[in-house]
Structure formats: C-alpha cells, structure tokens
Structure 1
Amino acid sequence: MRLPSTQALRALEAFARHGTVWQAAAELNITRSAVSHQLRFLEQDLGFALLERAGKGVALTPQGKRYAADVRRALTVLADAAVQYVDRGVLRGALTVSSTPGFASFWLCSHVAEFKRLYPDVSLRIVTPQRLDDVETPGVDVFIAYGDGEWPRHSVELISAVDFMPVCSPILLNQLGGLTEPVDMFRAVLLHLDGLGDWLNWFAAAGIVGPRIDRGVVFSDMNLVLAAAISGQGIAIGDNFVCRHLLDMGRLVRPFDLAVRSARAYYFVTEREREGNPAIQAFAGWLKSRVAQTTPVLHR
C-alpha cells in the first residue's frame, strides 16, 4: 500500500481533535470541502472506513479513532525530528503544557516568565485539564499531572511529593478568636475539593476519628476553594505548592503546623517517543530547577 499524503493525514488528525470539518478546515486554512475530499481520498488509500454518519454530520469510526491516534503520534515524531536539526544556538518551537488548575494558578503562573526569558523563541501555551490525572488530551506536549504516577506508555518523572495542611484567611482566624485544638476547626465552614478524603486524612493524623466533615462546601476547582478561603468563607486543605505564595504574602495562614503527606504527587508526564524533543527537555530542566529552589520544608 502506498504511503498516504501528509496533507490527508493532517486533515484526519485535525478532524479527530476538533470533531468537526469546519474547525479542522479553519485550523489548516483550507476549505471544508477540501477537508472532506482529503478524508475520502484517505479512506480509499487505506481500504477501510474512517467516517460514519452521526446525526446530520459525520464522526470517526472506532477504527478511524485508533488510526487517527497513531497518525497524531507519527506526525509528532516527524515534527520533533525536524526540531532537533535546527540551529542549537536558538531553541525554537511550540509547547503546550497541561497543568492542574491549582499548580498552574498558584505556582506555574508565578514563575513562567523566567522560562520565557531563558527561551524567548519557544511559543508556550498553558491549559488546564478536567481531571487532575489526565495525560491523554490531544495536542498537549507536556502534562503536569497529579496522581499515583502509574501512566503506562508514558515517560513519568516525579516533580514533588505533596504535603497537605489546613489554611485559612488571617481575618477568619481572628474572628474565630484563634484555634487551640484541631477540633476547633468545626467552628468554621470546611472547604473541600471534590471529595472529603484530604480532610479525613488530616483529621485522622491529628487524632480525631469519625468527624462530621460533610457539612462544608464542595468545589470542583482548587482556584474556587482558595478563593473562598482567602475571602474568609472557611478553612481549606491546601498543599505546599499551591499555597506557598499565598502563605508568603500573608493572604493565608496555617492554624496548625501538622502537615500530612499525600498518597498522590505532582508528576512531569510526556509520551515516551517525545522525550528527545529539545523544547520539552528545556522545559523539564527549567521546571525541576525552579521547583528545587522553591519547594518549602513543612513540619509534619
């Protein structure tokens, strides 16, 4: 079988990411009919169906989805190979980084200008995932993920372990008249990220068994949790990365010194075949260096 055209493969990859012909056409700067023709020609070359009817439009068949994923990896490898032969005196390229919302807002955004000063010709885009452990989003080069470190088929490197501790506004702490014992925190609203596990683990470490913590407020995003904490709406569980800058500025305080090590951690995750990409290597090196300089030592 002859090798399909690169243009047709790019049309398939763009369609797989966007899910619509018009968005793929807009990205590739060609007409919708051109994208449709490329996909039909590709089906003829391959000898199997890539598309199927879906309502008034079309969607990828299961086989088409698998083939599109392989095409994306192949195009990425080709692009990375080209970058490695560019003049090493000036690092160029485009890098999309997916980071958990808390890490992105309260750590990465406080340091990212340094990376741009070091590598001004690297185009950097930062996005946040819906799941903290997501490492599969198409179009992303690097993932700063929070999880157990088990991501098969990926290169995984520990950024840092995570220590959890209660944090709150100094104004709220004054309104409460201070907190003497951990159980005193039930005088305030407890703020949660998704589930209740982090608070349960901290109270267990503090020797408080079976507390009723389900009467607090649950948020879907760490930015919302901390916004409520900063506004004096309650006490949150924060971590040593997300809360470091807020603690240094005095916008949050720690009512107790006890910190609990999380079973999960922050990891630097990439596809294995992309480890040699110079822009990824540069970002990884910068990130590890900056993290080493800014990671606080907590009492536990």
Structure 2
Amino acid sequence: MAKNLPPLRLLSVFEAVLRTGGVRAAAQELNVTQPAISQALRQLEDHVGARLLDRRTRPAARTQAGEILEAAVVDGLGRIADAVEQIRGLEAAGHAVTIACSVGVATYWLMPRLARFSALQPHVAVNVMTTPQGAPRLTPSIDLAIRYGLGQWGDGLVELLFPERVAPVCSPAFLSRLMDEAGGDPIRLDRAPLIHVRAEDPTWLGWPAFLKQRGLPEPISPGRQFTNYVQATQAALDGQGVMLGWQSITGGLMREGRLVAATSDQVVPREGFYLVSAFGAGEREAARLLKDWLLGEG
C-alpha cells in the first residue's frame, strides 16, 4: 500500500495551495519559489494519474479528482498533526498535574497556595478543575481531588488534608451595625440577616444544623440564599449578612480583617477536607510533588 502513496512533501504542497488560495501564497508560506510549487503539483498529478487543478480558472479550481484527494489530505494531515501533539504531550504530561475541588476551596484555599508551589516548582504545570460544590470523581484526566466528608471513598488514596471549624462571620461594618441594634445586649443570630449556601451535599453544615447543635433558636427570617460559597462570601464581605465561615475558606479573610467573628459560637464537624489521589498518581513526578506539598500545607 505504501508504494501507491505519493511523497508527503507533495501532499503538503497540494494542501498549502488549496488552503492559501494559490501558488504564490503557498510559495510564500513554504518559503520556496513559485516554480518549485508548480513542479511539485505536476509531480503529484503524474503520481495519481489525473489532473487535480483546472488551471484555466483564476484561482485554479479543483477537479473532481482534486476534490477527492483534498478530502483525504486534509483529514490525513490533520490526524498526523493531532498525533504529533499527543506524542509531545506524553513528555509534557510528566510535568503537569490536574487537581479538582469546589470553586470555594479553589478560590480561597488552593489558589493562594499554588502561587507558592509554582515558585518552588516552576517546571510543574498545575491544572485546576472546579465544581460549584464538592469535587468530581477521579478520572484518567484528574490526578488529585480535594473533597469534604468522612474520607470514605474508594476511588483513590484518601488522606486527611485538614479538619474544619465553622463559626458565624460577617464584615466589621456589619458587626458594628448588629451591635448598635442590640443596644449592648449579646447579638442574636436568630434575629440577624443570615446568608445561606444551598448545598447538595447533606453533610455540608448549614444554618439549621449549626443553630440546632449550638442550642440556638431558629432564625426569624429566611435570609439570603446563594448557590455556592464564593457568592455567599462576597455577600458577607459586602455587609449583606452573617454567613457560616469555614476556617479553611474564610480564615485568610479573617486574618486580613475583612471578616470578623459575629459571635463566639462555633462547631467542629466530624467531616474534614481530604486529598484523594488517583491510584498510581504518586508514580508521576508532578502529581507526587503537588500531593506532598499540599499535605504539608494542610
């Protein structure tokens, strides 16, 4: 079969002429003379035994044989280009790692740490995949995942990243407003505007469970509802209410003074944040470096 195939050089010239619209443009792109392009086209036509271009038109039109060969050449060269990229990617994959987590964890916990990791390991490319809540299951394209729960998953190696602590937080200005309204009395969460996150995960601690565990009354008003933690955090920063601050996510904002504790109440849930590593991920340098570094940061 290979004996019937024309040289790849001739096919590349043919493809360039069709794509650029003419011999002159193809010669400029390939950095050769126009006669060289014309000669290559004639050699290709001799090889296949048919006219490929109708040179009586300007620009030259494809003959029926030219249309047939064009479809095959475009598809074939495209597949070759894809294959070359995949082959190059085999080497690059050893220096890349993909980690999945919720958008809240990515924004407030992971990204600030990745800046430090990149400074230490500049040759490692880290790809971050986010979901509104939780983290997707590990797939062949995901090396690591940060998940909240009891650590009872079987799709990878599970290691505790950090425990959690949950407490009511708000902006300093909003806290001053609550204190003024309380007139010196302790702040009552059941009377404060609360910020809720609608969580699909039943283990995610929301206001009803938090208040029940602390023996506090249910809120009078429904408060504001958000679909993810980033939206809720921004609402708290804007002084729209009191949110449940997860130490891993709002801890940095509290250290910066942008959020403060609204009351002294807090809950330490049984669940924590875990790093789940795909089986065999530790054999790849990039995944192993990021995993070990994150466990150290936790």
Matched pairs, number: 212
Matching residue within 229, 247, 251 for 1:244 = 251
Q: 1:32-70 CA distances to partner (integer Å, 9 max, x unpaired)? A: 9569999xxxxxxxxxxxxxxxxxxxxxxxxxxxxxxxx
8 Å Cα contact 2:242-2:262 kept in structure 1: no
Residue 133 to residue 32, structure 1, CA distance change in 2 (3 Å): farther
Q: Which residue of 1 aligns with 2:194?
A: 190
Asked if 1:262 is matched to 2:269, the reply is: yes
Which stretch has the larger CA shift, 222-231 or 264-273? 264-273
Residue 199 to residue 151, structure 1, CA distance change in 2 (3 Å): same
- Give, in whole Å, the separation in 1 of the partners of 2:76 and 2:152: 41
Question: Structure 1: where are the runs of 5+ without partners?
Answer: 1-30, 39-74, 85-91, 292-300
TM-score when scaled to structure 1?
Answer: 0.62
Q: Report the CA distance between 1:186 and its aligned residue.
A: 2.9
Asked if 1:139 is matched to 2:141, the reply is: yes
- Give, in whole Å, the separation in 1 of the partners of 2:77 and 2:153: 34
Q: Report the CA distance between 1:227 and its aligned residue.
A: 0.2
Q: 1:83-128 CA distances to partner (integer Å, 9 max, x unpaired)? A: 99xxxxxxx6111111222221112222211111111111112221
Paired-residue identity, %: 27
Quote the RMSD (CA, aligned, Å): 3.1
Q: Which residue of 2 aligns with 1:150?
A: 152
Asked if 1:207 is matched to 2:215, the reply is: yes
Question: Secondary structure of the equivalent of 1:127?
Answer: strand
- Give, in whole Å, the separation in 2 of the partners of 1:206 and 1:128: 32
Q: Report the CA distance between 1:153 and its aligned residue.
A: 2.8
8 Å Cα contact 1:83-1:277 kept in structure 2: no
Q: Which residue of 2 aligns with 1:225?
A: 232
Q: 1:215-254 CA distances to partner (integer Å, 9 max, x unpaired)? A: 1122111110000000000100011110111001111000
Which stretch has the larger CA shift, 259-268 or 219-228? 259-268
Question: Secondary structure of the equivalent of 1:281?
Answer: helix
Question: Secondary structure of the equivalent of 1:144?
Answer: strand
Q: Report the CA distance between 1:197 and its aligned residue.
A: 4.4
- Give, in whole Å, the separation in 2 of the partners of 1:120 and 1:145: 26
Q: Report the CA distance between 1:285 and its aligned residue.
A: 1.4
Q: Report the CA distance between 1:264 and its aligned residue.
A: 2.3
Q: Report the CA distance between 1:214 and its aligned residue.
A: 6.7
> Residue type matched to 2:233 in 1?
L
> Residue type matched to 1:201 in 2?
A
> Residue type matched to 1:287 in 2?
L
Which stretch has the larger CA shift, 230-239 or 255-264? 255-264
Q: 1:137-173 CA distances to partner (integer Å, 9 max, x unpaired)? A: 5622211122231221311111011111100011011
Following TM superposition, the consecutive aligned residue runs of length 4 or more in structure 1 with deviations greater than 6 angstroms are 35-38
Q: Which residue of 2 aligns with 1:294?
A: none
Asked if 1:277 is matched to 2:284, the reply is: yes
Residue 270 to residue 35, structure 1, CA distance change in 2 (3 Å): farther
Residue 94 to residue 250, structure 1, CA distance change in 2 (3 Å): same
Structure number with larger C-alpha Rg: 2
- Give, in whole Å, the separation in 2 of the partners of 1:262 and 1:32: 59
Residue 241 to residue 213, structure 1, CA distance change in 2 (3 Å): farther
- Give, in whole Å, the separation in 1 of the partners of 2:116 and 2:153: 29
> Residue type matched to 1:187 in 2?
R
Superposed, which structure 2 residues align to 1:1-300 within 5 Å? 33=75, 93-136=95-138, 139-177=141-179, 180-181=185-186, 184-195=188-199, 197-209=205-217, 211-212=218-219, 215-291=222-298
8 Å Cα contact 1:95-1:122 kept in structure 2: yes
Q: Report the CA distance between 1:265 and its aligned residue.
A: 1.5
